[in-house]
Structure formats: structure tokens, C-alpha cells
Chains A and B, each alone.
Chain A
Amino acid sequence: MQARPQAGQFEVPDRGGNRFVRHTGLAAPYMYDNVSTDVPAPPAEAAGVAHLGLRGGDLAFANLRWNADGTEKQDFVFNQEPFRRASIMIVGLNYGTGSSRSTAVTLPLAAWGVKAYIGQSFGPIFVTNALQYGVVTVQLPRATVDRIAEWVRANPGVEMTVDLQRLVVEIPGQPPIPFTYNERFRNKLLNGLDDMEEMDPHLAAAAAKRAEDERRRPWVYDYHNP
């Protein structure tokens, strides 16, 4: 049996300007709908694991992953072989909805190196957080996602590839599955662009707009009223 990856095994980069071109790895199915960030990223005290002294990636999915005594819950997918080495998550509808916690991206990244999600849809804030850490959220119709999840269960230990350059998911022995991606997000990921690089050329225009707007809506700029 493969040893559990140790906390801190996968590096979490600084926020912003991170690249993603392609990623090959094992996938784990977690096919529930409307999974909020509370699930992958619970606060340690609320998850009842503060006494275990877990840090970083070991907090990922803490409620579902650890018993109160620190042993693993066997029914959680990342506690099962071969999924404990998975770095691609196959998810359902509206994954990562709820709070704006970027730890919903960084904790699974630290724990298992989760670099790619394939799902029916994603919470809007989760998508922008993932972008900042060089993590992709591939959106496909439910029937396709279901088939991928089925394939993963039937082919444990076989890796797949998410290729953002060519916009395909590649599964051994299957025709490539094309997907679409927000072109601006794709460009940023392929080139590792920071948001500031996009904003910089427009900051003079922003200042001009603010000056003009101050004449139109003076009360908005009356910050320290009273």
C-alpha cells in the first residue's frame, strides 16, 4: 500500500501569476452537487480536529477525512487506494459554491497536488480563486462528467491528462474530450499572467474616470463625512 503523502509534500505557490499548460495524474470522483467551500476548507476548530494539530493540506476535507481520534474515515475517496494519490478531481454541479475562501483551492493542492477539476459547473468565486493558483476548472456536460467518473472507477490507477493548450481531456483508449475555456483565463494560465499586468495599462484611465465621476457623484467621494 502506498504511504499517505505527507503534509507539505505539494508546494502551494503565491497567489497570482501561476501557469497551467497541461497536467497528467490520477483522478478521484467526488460526484456530489452543490459542495460548498466549507467541505474542502473547514476551519480546524469547527472541524473538531484542532486537537490533532493538523496543518495545511491535512485540513483539506477534514470533516469527511478524519475521525475525531485522527484515524482515517474509510468512506472518503482520498482515503482509498489509488485515489489517495489523485491530483484531478471529478465533481458534480456547482462545486466550490459558497464562501470566497481560497483555501478551498489551496488545501487540496497542498494535500494531493490537485491541479485540475473536471465538473458540470463550479461556484463563480471558486473559479477565480483556482485561476490565481494555476488550477483549472474544466466544465463539461453532466453526461460526459458522469462517464468520466465511471471510467475512473473502472480503471483505478490509470492516469489522464488535462491539456489547456489543446483544450482536451485525454483518457487512455478514448477519443480526446474537447472543452471550452474563458479565453482570457486560458491566456492568463498558459502564460502565467498576473492581474496587475492586465490592469496596469488602464490605471491612467481609471484615475481620469474617478476625477470625472467625482463631479457627477460628489457624495461618493465624501469618505469621511461626517
Chain B
Amino acid sequence: MTNDPIESTVKDFILEEFLPGERPDALTADTALVTEGILDSLATLRLVSFLEKQYKISIAPHEVDPEYLDTLPRIAALVRSKLG
């Protein structure tokens, strides 16, 4: 269970949109969402769309990359870097 509110929100979104029926504790901070194929390109774009709407941020094309989106902590770090 993560204490980070951003991670928590993103995790809920991913579970609801892409992993319905999966156990929430199976999605951890270490789960490699992009490199293990859980988030393909289309799912990644939907995630980006969600993050931009949810946090009123703008994500650049080069940030659609495992470096920024592969794990929950990395996604949260990206969002925080945009929020300032």
C-alpha cells in the first residue's frame, strides 16, 4: 500500500482501466508497467491523457518513455516535476 497520494491515484486508475479483477497488492512499486507489456502504447497514451487532465499538466512526447512511466514511483516523480 503506497503512502504517496499521486502513486495511489495512478495505481487506482491503472487497476480500474487496464487490470480489472486483478488483486491490487499485485501491482507494486516495482512492477515494470511498460517493459513488461502491461501498458502498451495505447494504454500509455490513455494514462498520459489521464495524468494531464487529473493534474492539469502537460507531458511532452519524449516523456512517453519507460524512463518516466515504467513504474508507479517514476510516474509520480514525473507528475511532481511538472507540478513544480
Tell whether A pairs with B: no
Residues of A at under 8 Å CB distance from B? none
Residues of B at under 8 Å CB distance from A? none
